Amino acid sequence: MGLDIAFWVLAVVSVGAALAVVLMRDIFRAALFLVLCFFTVAGIYITLSADFLAGAQVLIYVGAIGVLIIFAIMLTRESRRGSPSGRLRLPALLIGLLFLVTMVFVVVSTDWHVIAELPTEPTTTAIAQALFSGEDGFVLAFEIAAALLLAAIIGAIVLVREK
Amino acid sequence: MAVGLEHFLILSAVLFAIGLYGVLAKRNALVILMSIEIMLTAVNITMVAFSRYSHVISGQVFVIFIMVVAAAEAAVGLALIIAIYRSRKTVDAEKFDLMKW
């Protein structure tokens, strides 16, 4: 029961914050609403009993990406011009609604085989075992992710370096 | 009605649709990047929901990889936007016509 109430509150707040991101004229406020949206999504992970991911969501999205986006807004000083819509506003609305209707139809009409009871184990150990166990683990993907992050850091430095 | 898998899937579809609208309709490159982040987060909710309702942990491992890619994408994307802003003095996506044929 408590989880249901938490889900509804978090769902309404996250959808409202996401709508504010795309509808707000002031892009600095849009960025703050984006941070709120990420934070509520971390709460939704908790209602899904994904404790480790909720922590990672707060650290990576709320902390790192939120600060990065606010920094970029400050550096580009476009905030007083706002965020106007382009020529594709109506087609974009149509495509978004079409996607939403299709997805809702598919989700509602599919017969999902679910396990209703909550997983009670903490997920951190289970994720670590899934990542690093020798058989069908994700060790290679993990190493590639490390190389990807290094490439992204170097690429970002090269792009913004003063000539 | 108790909250089940469908509720999480529909929530994530709503967030993805909002992000899709933002990517297609907005002109400010920073808002487009923020909408892309919303879409990635929506997909993460789907992954975690499937993982919780099937008790298979691989979904959460994939979410970690999506977070890594999202962080790399945000860093490089914002660096690109700042570099373009330096040379063109705008972040309006409809004015980025360097590679238009």
In terms of CA atoms, which chain A residue is nearest residue B50? A114
- What would the mean pLDDT of B40-58 be, rounded to a whole number? 93
All structural domains of chain B with their residue ranges: 5-91
Residues of A in contact with B53 (CB under 8 A): 112, 114-116
Q: What is the pLDDT of residues B57-86, one digit of tens each?
A: 889 999 999 999 999 999 999 999 998 888
Question: Following DSSP, what letter does each residue of B62-80 receive, concatenated?
Answer: HHHHHHHHHHHHHHHHHHH
Write the CATH number of the domain with boundaries A1-84.
1.20.120.1200
Collect all residues with Cβ–Cβ distance below 8 Å to A110 and sequence separation of at least 6: none
d(CA B42, CA B26) in angstroms, rounded, equals 19
- Supply the pLDDT for residue B69: 94
ipTM over 0.95: no
All structural domains of chain A with their residue ranges: 1-84, 119-163
**Is B84 an 8 Å CB contact of chain A?**
no
In terms of CA atoms, which chain B residue is nearest residue A64? B71
Q: Which tokens hold the place of A155? A: 């690429």
pTM of the predicted model as reported, rounded to 2 decimal places: 0.92
For B82, the closest of A75, A131, A149 (CB atoms) is A75
Write the CATH number of the domain with boundaries B5-91.
1.10.287.3510
| Mean pLDDT computed over every residue of chain B | 90
**A79 pLDDT above the threshold of 60:** no
Q: What is the pLDDT of residues A32-45, one digit of tens each?
A: 999 999 999 999 99
For A50, the closest of B25, B52, B72 (CB atoms) is B52
| Mean pLDDT computed over every residue of chain A | 89
Contact B27 A160 (CB under 8 A): no
C-alpha distance from B100 to closest chain A C-alpha (Å): 17
Q: What confidence category does residue B95 fall into, taking pLDDT thresholds of 50, 70 and 90?
A: confident
Residue type (1 letter), B40: L
